[in-house]
Amino acid sequence: MMLPTHALGGMTLALSVAFVAPEFTGVALVAGFLGGVFPDADLYAGHRKSLHYPVYYTAFALLALVVAGLSPSIATVAATCFLAGAAVHSVTDIFGGGLELRPWEATSDRAVYDHYRDQWIEPRRWVRYDGSPADLLVSLTLAVPLLVALGDPLRQVVLGTLTVAVVYTAVRRLLPTLAATIVDDVLAPHLPDHLLAYVPTRYREVEG
């Protein structure tokens, strides 16, 4: 799923804090947002493996939840919501598309790496690819409770995230061609081979 969906997923999950400890709602939502986006910081280095931990984030989130329940504080609530956001991100990527450059072609059998079992998990493709209309629908659905419950400035964060989701969905199917053109036609003729080696092969039409 696309990054805005994960960000909103982390925030919607964190919104549950408002019902049990409303004084921590703000910090919970910020931590949920950050945890929701964090795993995709591995986009350029071992995507969906380096920072995606479907099993371990889930285990640590549950542990953090117990600690936060026994000793609620800004630190324990933030840690729980961050880990929960990252866990839900890593697990829900399984239900989207694979790692291929054009995920709508459904050619990859890799969704997320399971470090616990040391193997790739296959994409289920319930949401066919990141930035698909179904993905946008998930984003919009997750945003509803947030827009109802929150005031500014968090409401503005939700609206900004939704704007990114709409724009990303609109241009998603153009991005692979654009990326490949930039890499193959603009960068490749000028970059030395050892630097070009850092460009993930999925961004190249020409095998490098």
Choose the stretch contacting Zn ion; rule: CB under 5 A; options: 92-100, 139-147, 148-156, 178-186: 92-100
Provide, rounded to whole angstroms, the least separation between the CB of residue 141 and Zn ion.
Answer: 19
Choose the stretch contacting Zn ion; rule: CB under 5 A; options: 19-27, 85-93, 124-132, 169-177: 85-93
Q: How many residues bind Zn ion (CB under 5 A)?
A: 3
Instruction: Match 């956001």 to its residue by tokens.
Output: 85
Provide, rounded to whole angstroms, the least separation between the CB of residue 3 and Zn ion.
Answer: 8
Provide, rounded to whole angstroms, the least separation between the CB of residue 56 and Zn ion.
Answer: 15
Choose the stretch contacting Zn ion; rule: CB under 5 A; options: 33-41, 79-87, 131-139, 175-183: 33-41
- Cβ distance to Zn ion smaller for residue 35 or 39: 39
Instruction: Match 């609620």 to its residue by tokens.
Output: 72
d(CA 190, CA 175): 22
- Cβ distance to Zn ion smaller for residue 39 or 97: 39
Task: Kindly identify the residues of this chain, within the stretch 96-155, that bind Zn ion according to CB under 5 A.
Answer: none
Provide, rounded to whole angstroms, the least separation between the CB of residue 92 and Zn ion.
Answer: 8
* Helix (H) or strand (E) segment spanning residue 75: helix 74-92
Phi then psi dihedrals of residue 155, to 5 deg: -60, -40
Could you tell me which of 184, 178, 173, 175 has the C-alpha nearest to residue 206? 184
Provide, rounded to whole angstroms, the least separation between the CB of residue 161 and Zn ion.
Answer: 15
- Cβ distance to Zn ion smaller for residue 41 or 171: 41
Orientation of helix 74-92 relative to helix 54-70, angle to 10°: 160
Largest interatomic CA distance in the chain: 59
Provide, rounded to whole angstroms, the least separation between the CB of residue 193 and Zn ion.
Answer: 29
- Cβ distance to Zn ion smaller for residue 98 or 176: 98
Task: Kindly identify the residues of this chain, within the stretch 35-74, that bind Zn ion according to CB under 5 A.
Answer: 39-40
The DSSP code for 123 is P
Q: Which of 15, 37, 86, 93 binds Zn ion (CB under 5 A)?
A: 93
Could you tell me which of 159, 208, 186, 198 has the C-alpha nearest to residue 43? 198
Could you tell me which of 164, 181, 40, 34 has the C-alpha nearest to residue 99? 40
d(CA 196, CA 208): 8
- Given the rule CB under 5 A, which residues bind Zn ion? 39-40, 93
